[in-house]
Structure 1
Amino acid sequence: MKVAVTLFALLVAAPCAAQDVAAGEVLYKQKCAACHQPTGKGVKGAFPALAGDALVLGDPALLSRMLLVGKGGMPTFKRLMTDQQIADVLSFVRSSFGNSAAPVLPDVVAAMRATLPASGGPTGPLGN
């Protein structure tokens, strides 16, 4: 019975994950590709490559923080994107450009957002 329930859950979740990645691709093209390039290879010395990047492939919470607070020339998306949108675009990036990492859940983004100050600049690692 447990196997049947697990299989059912996976079958139901797979189309949802595919939709999230598709939504993430649209967001990537709108908000990220101009700098990081459509290929995810970035521009050397200006915009980092996302393909094979340790931050992209690492802890989803830290990656979420990067989008929420920005860094250097990268803007903050804290007020521009919902938790779902950030999770979608990060899931797309983590599964594209030769990357193969687990999707980012909106709950992870929400938890990271909750650690940030409500107003003012970011604090802590990856803050400006």
Structure 2
Amino acid sequence: MRLTIPLLAAALGLCAAPAFAADGKQLYLDNCAACHQPTGKGIDGAFPALAASKVVQGDPKEPIIRVLKGRGGMPAFSTELTDLEIAKVLTYARVTWGNKGKPVQPTQVTALRVGAKGPTVKPALAH
């Protein structure tokens, strides 16, 4: 049976999600868990929950911009994390704790990073 290129690309994308999420777990624990908690439940009144979050699971543009630029008490990670790392950590948050978001691709982060105003940014690195 022959797979068409779009079908093959979709299949490969589905396979990449678990790998991205696994890599993103450590990035999440290192950069996000102190505030949003390892459970993704946040701290009521201080740090929002990522588990069951419509923002986290919805259009990836909003969480990508929040990670790049920061928001409220959340620091900007544009100089700390590469596009690949941001894609991995957001994919982890979007598919963990019962969340049902789609994986984030590094190219999505790159496109928004270019348009984001703010501090000098760290380019994506291949890992």
Q: Classify the TM-score, shorter chain.
A: 0.7 to 0.9
Q: 1:111 maps to what in 2?
A: 111
Structure 1 residues 14 and 53, CA gap change in structure 2 (3 angstroms): closer
Alignment TM-score, normalising by the size of structure 1: 0.83
Question: Helix, strand or coil: the match of 1:81?
Answer: coil
Instruction: Give, as a single letter, the amino acid of the residue that structure 1 aligns with 2:52.
Output: G
Aligned residues between the structures: 120
The alpha-carbon deviation at position 61 of structure 1 amounts to 1.2
Q: 2:67, 2:78 within 8 Å by CA — same for their partners in 1?
A: yes
1:10, 1:58 → 2: CA distance?
19
The alpha-carbon deviation at position 104 of structure 1 amounts to 0.8
Alignment TM-score, normalising by the size of structure 2: 0.84
Matches within 5 A, 1:38-77: 38-77=38-77
The alpha-carbon deviation at position 13 of structure 1 amounts to 3.8
Question: Helix, strand or coil: the match of 2:76?
Answer: coil
Structure 1: gaps spanning 5 or more residues: 121-128
Instruction: Give, as a single letter, the amino acid of the residue that structure 1 aligns with 2:98.
Output: G
Instruction: Give, as a single letter, the amino acid of the residue that structure 1 aligns with 2:113.
Output: R
Percent identity of equivalent pairs: 43
The alpha-carbon deviation at position 2 of structure 1 amounts to 5.6
Q: 2:69, 2:77 within 8 Å by CA — same for their partners in 1?
A: yes
1:36, 1:118 → 2: CA distance?
24
